[in-house]
Structure 1
Amino acid sequence: MSKHLPLSEAVLLWLEHARNLPPTPQAITDAALSVLPEWDALEEAVAAAAPRDEHPDLYAKVDGDWTPNYRTLLGESGLGEATRLIAQGATVPVPEVADSFVAFCTHPAPVPERWLLLNATFPHGTRIPLGRHTLQTFTLEELLQTVPMPALNGLKPDGLDLGLITGAPFLHVPDPDYVVTRRPTWFDFTGPRAEAQHWHALLPLMLWDSYLLRADSVFTVQRGRRFDLNPAAVPLTIRVYSDHYGGQEEVEVRDTGEFHVPATDLPALTAFCTAISAKIDAIMAGVTHKRRIPRLRARRLERAARHLLSAYQRTHADYGVWEVEADELHLDYVIALEALLISPNDDENEGIANNFRSRAAALFLTTAEQERTEALVRRAYKARSTYVHGDVIKDQTEQEKLKELRALRHLTLQVILRWLVLTPSGTDDLAPLLDAAAQGTGREQHIDRPLRAFFTATPPRSRPADITTA
């Protein structure tokens, strides 16, 4: 700290002067723009401790000259908020604020990250690599290190309640090319929706357990500078607790949804996610001796994942979707299945529906599951045709439709998982192997044995009914 003592002293001098300022953001900005010796001394100290060639993010051009950017120094650092609190008469830990400001100016600018808040519960200390992403639950101390001016947390009446998201699961990924131009929101129409952008990391978690998993919000973090999660972006629910006097107290807590992972399952989840992420990476990288097929396989997987995620984001409970969207979700699941099971060599006019059914069934190891799968796919494909041709599905009640949609969701998860297990094994196209297996040829070698091996070594939470370890 002695190296940056002049900067620390300049901050302390400015904060001392803050007691004389009106407690409004505009007044504080005006003070920084006026000719105040305290602010001039602060800018000079910043320029000496953090020259522009080392910290260009701190500077802006004014009248042709590069000077420390007052918006950055006041806004992103948290110094403006500390100034306002002191002007209001609040008790602020001034030495900690000064230390944070010095670190803000002299440390390298953090790489922007995209963070997704999941509606799920994972054990404390969870940290699972998922390709470039990381699934992590954060302690309060760890979250404090991500926000500007940790010493101010809890002092701002409109600030984020970090206790609300302590222990919450986040998927985060570095995004060095992301340019922060405004506060990002869930409905940010400048690019694809978040579930589509981050399907590589979401898919392994969804394949682990059929309980619903969604991204509740997405935002930008520059650790120590920006923490753009708005409290309104955290879905809440009411939980009732009994008090010591026999009464009840209602408390707002984060809605954790239905996807819960106990600590005892964490090693198995980690192993499963590691295995599935490797298979996704292999397909997306196109590990094979031909060129066209890798691109096709990668597009197939991405398309299936996107449609699956699109349906998940609009499914609010195990048996719950908006009635007006039920048919569209049905179509999403069928498209996901078709993306993986229809071969580029299939005749467009003959046999596609039959191939679709038989290949889906061939992915299952017992006669009972094959028959159940074929019947479900037959009904799903018929409903899909009815919908896309503009007709109305009339032979199902709302309850029957929701039950069928749930069964189709579970089947889609199983087909994607089995396709992932089998496809990267050196084949150009899985369809011929599934067609042969449906005819009783090569089934044990190409289908049954690899599936049993995978489900034995790295099983999901629930072992499928057709998989035995024998």
Structure 2
Amino acid sequence: MSKHLSLRKAVLEWLEYAGGLSPTPQSIVTLMLQPHWEDVETAVAAAAPREEHPDLYAKVDGDWVPNSLTLLEESGLAEAARLIAQGVPVPVSEVADSFVTFCTGPAPVPERWLLLNGTFPQGTRIPLGRHTLQTFTADELRQTVPMPALNVLQRRSRDLDLITGAPFIHVPDPGRPVTRRPTWFDFTGPRAEAQHWQALLPLMLWDSELLRVDSVFTVARGRRFDLDSRNVPTTIQTYEGRDGGEEEAEVRDTGFFDVQAACLPALADFCAAISAKIDAVMAGASHERRILKGRARRLERAARHLLAAYQRTYNDAGVWEVEADELRLDYVIALEALLISPDDTGGRIAANIRSRASALFLGLDHQKVIKAIVKRAYDARSTYVHGDVIKGQTEEEMLKELRTLRLLTLQVILRWLVLTPSDTEDLTHLLDAAVKDPDCENRIGQSLRAFFTTTPPRNRPADISAT
């Protein structure tokens, strides 16, 4: 405890000198040269030895010493000194307490936070495998950044207001450095929506409204939050002011994926069921048996292509015409990845995909519609990959067809997950048999009805409702 008191005293004395500098922003070197900074480093070494807090140290000339860049910038101490020099009334006692906590508390585990464009109720917290879907209160967000005492004095308070209540999917990422700002294209790995598809897919299967990843942040709670308001899509909201006139406010731009509080328990149950099924399939990725490994690979491929299409679809009318054919191709690849069989030959692939997709639906009328949708998609896909142009289709027809194909792809993925067996049998064998064998068709119907009854998505499918 006395070590902590010594550290606190050293910081307060340093702030007294550093805050008296010129009000222009000081460099790290300038702040390090101020009186008592060596005393701060000595107190840090005593209160937070390297054996317990290696993240606070750097090697200089062969020796491990407290890292001044970490202690000044990441803790927020340098910013506090700059504000004091500018004459801002900074609560120095709280600043000193925050710095002591920064140095002596356990090092946080870096996390990835994916900002979604949907709307969820306050207090949402839903497990999604290793991930968690959560909306954060203003106070919870303030605790994620270092030096909370500075929040109200800086622009970041406004930035935190912008994302208060916003839905995030977050997951521990211990190997990720917290000292670099992430970029949208992270060349150390796949794009974020592809890397975290196992958390996003259950939400997308719950509701057919479009859900996208708007931004990605690296967070080490209490240590670093790479929040940049420029990475948060915003819109201007007009509302009636106190004097009766109109006022404007910049707010986060949310999409159409809106979950009400009454739906939250059902969503949590659905996500738990789907996450369990995804985990069961992906467990085969490291299994020796070929079918299990292939099944896991095919599910991941289907999910990634679905997400690739989603990320380029702002809404059902917001699709770039030059990309429409590529989106259609992504959906067809997703269907093919799940419904193709190792036994298929080139001449029968398209026909088999149509047949198996329709076998996932109940009732002859619905099956006929599904076959027609898949045929049109496959024909368009072939036209595109062969370098030709799809003719005779208006923009309105094209957008409607894309939406129909998107909804079909979602249903195929969902039903594939519901029906995929845990043993080595391939699902395509059951789907092929269902065309001729009533027992297999009944088996499919029973499994689907059971799932959609106990853990239904937001909207019950028409073929299930009619049976």
Where on the TM-score scale, by shorter chain, does this alignment land: which range? over 0.9
Distance 1:51-1:266 versus aligned 2 partners, 3 A rule: same
**Residue in 2 aligned with 1:307?**
305
TM alignment of 1:244-393, pairs within 5 A: 244-286=242-284, 291-348=289-346, 350-393=347-390
Partners of 2:38 and 2:212 in 1: how far apart? 49
Q: How far apart are residue 302 of structure 1 and its match?
A: 0.3
Q: How far apart are residue 425 of structure 1 and its match?
A: 4.3
Partners of 2:71 and 2:25 in 1: how far apart? 13
Q: How far apart are residue 187 of structure 1 and its match?
A: 2.5
| 1:362–1:437 CA contact under 8 A, matched in 2 | yes
Distance 1:382-1:133 versus aligned 2 partners, 3 A rule: same
**Residue in 1 aligned with 2:185?**
187
**Residue in 2 aligned with 1:454?**
451
TM-score by length of 2: 0.97
**Residue in 2 aligned with 1:424?**
421
Q: How far apart are residue 56 of structure 1 and its match?
A: 1.1
| 1:7–1:102 CA contact under 8 A, matched in 2 | yes
Q: How far apart are residue 165 of structure 1 and its match?
A: 0.5
Instruction: Name the SS for the 1:142 alignment partner.
Output: helix
| 2:285–2:293 CA contact under 8 A, matched in 1 | no
**Residue in 1 aligned with 2:13?**
13
Q: How far apart are residue 377 of structure 1 and its match?
A: 0.4
Instruction: Name the SS for the 2:146 alignment partner.
Output: coil
Post-superposition CA distance 1:164-183 (Å, at most 9, x none): 11100000000111134521
Instruction: Name the SS for the 1:134 alignment partner.
Output: strand
Match of 2:79 among 78, 81, 100: 81
1:4 aligns with 2:4: yes
Partners of 2:298 and 2:27 in 1: how far apart? 57
| 2:110–2:173 CA contact under 8 A, matched in 1 | yes
Partners of 1:289 and 1:71 in 2: how far apart? 46
Partners of 1:107 and 1:203 in 2: how far apart? 36
1:396 aligns with 2:393: yes
Q: How far apart are residue 93 of structure 1 and its match?
A: 1.1
Partners of 2:408 and 2:220 in 1: how far apart? 39
- Give aligned-pair identity as a percent: 72
1:52 aligns with 2:47: no
1:434 aligns with 2:436: no
The letter for the 2-side match of 1:19 is G
**Residue in 1 aligned with 2:62?**
64
Partners of 2:287 and 2:67 in 1: how far apart? 53
Instruction: Name the SS for the 2:463 alignment partner.
Output: coil
Instruction: Name the SS for the 2:71 alignment partner.
Output: helix
Partners of 2:30 and 2:458 in 1: how far apart? 59
Q: How far apart are residue 439 of structure 1 and its match?
A: 1.7
Partners of 1:61 and 1:425 in 2: how far apart? 52
The letter for the 2-side match of 1:426 is D
The letter for the 2-side match of 1:10 is A
Q: How far apart are residue 246 of structure 1 and its match?
A: 3.0
Q: How far apart are residue 30 of structure 1 and its match?
A: 1.7
Deviation larger for 420-429 or 121-130: 420-429
Deviation larger for 134-143 or 234-243: 234-243
Instruction: Name the SS for the 1:320 alignment partner.
Output: coil
Q: How far apart are residue 354 of structure 1 and its match?
A: 1.0
Partners of 2:138 and 2:466 in 1: how far apart? 43
| 1:21–1:28 CA contact under 8 A, matched in 2 | no
Distance 1:431-1:439 versus aligned 2 partners, 3 A rule: same
Q: How far apart are residue 244 of structure 1 and its match?
A: 3.4
The letter for the 1-side match of 2:192 is A
1:111 aligns with 2:119: no
**Residue in 2 aligned with 1:412?**
409
Partners of 2:19 and 2:178 in 1: how far apart? 33
The letter for the 2-side match of 1:356 is I
Q: How many residue pairs were aligned?
A: 467
Partners of 1:91 and 1:257 in 2: how far apart? 40
The letter for the 2-side match of 1:313 is Q
Distance 1:45-1:336 versus aligned 2 partners, 3 A rule: same
**Residue in 2 aligned with 1:203?**
201
The letter for the 2-side match of 1:391 is D
Q: How far apart are residue 347 of structure 1 and its match?
A: 1.3
TM-score by length of 1: 0.96
Partners of 1:20 and 1:355 in 2: how far apart? 77
**Residue in 1 aligned with 2:135?**
137
Q: CA RMSD in A?
A: 1.7
Post-superposition CA distance 1:98-118 (Å, at most 9, x none): 111001100111110000000
| 2:281–2:422 CA contact under 8 A, matched in 1 | no
Q: How far apart are residue 245 of structure 1 and its match?
A: 3.2
Partners of 1:415 and 1:262 in 2: how far apart? 26
Distance 1:19-1:288 versus aligned 2 partners, 3 A rule: closer
Q: How far apart are residue 27 of structure 1 and its match?
A: 4.1
Partners of 2:13 and 2:25 in 1: how far apart? 19
1:167 aligns with 2:157: no
**Residue in 2 aligned with 1:226?**
224
Partners of 1:373 and 1:469 in 2: how far apart? 16
Post-superposition CA distance 1:330-349 (Å, at most 9, x none): 0000000000011111112x
Partners of 1:102 and 1:469 in 2: how far apart? 64
TM alignment of 1:22-41, pairs within 5 A: 22-32=22-32, 34=33, 36-41=34-39
Q: How far apart are residue 96 of structure 1 and its match?
A: 1.0
Partners of 2:155 and 2:457 in 1: how far apart? 44
| 1:19–1:86 CA contact under 8 A, matched in 2 | yes
Match of 2:124 among 93, 117, 126: 126
Partners of 2:349 and 2:31 in 1: how far apart? 72
Query: 5+ unaligned residues in a row in structure 2: which ranges?
Result: none
| 1:337–1:412 CA contact under 8 A, matched in 2 | yes
Q: How far apart are residue 23 of structure 1 and its match?
A: 3.1
Q: How far apart are residue 31 of structure 1 and its match?
A: 3.1
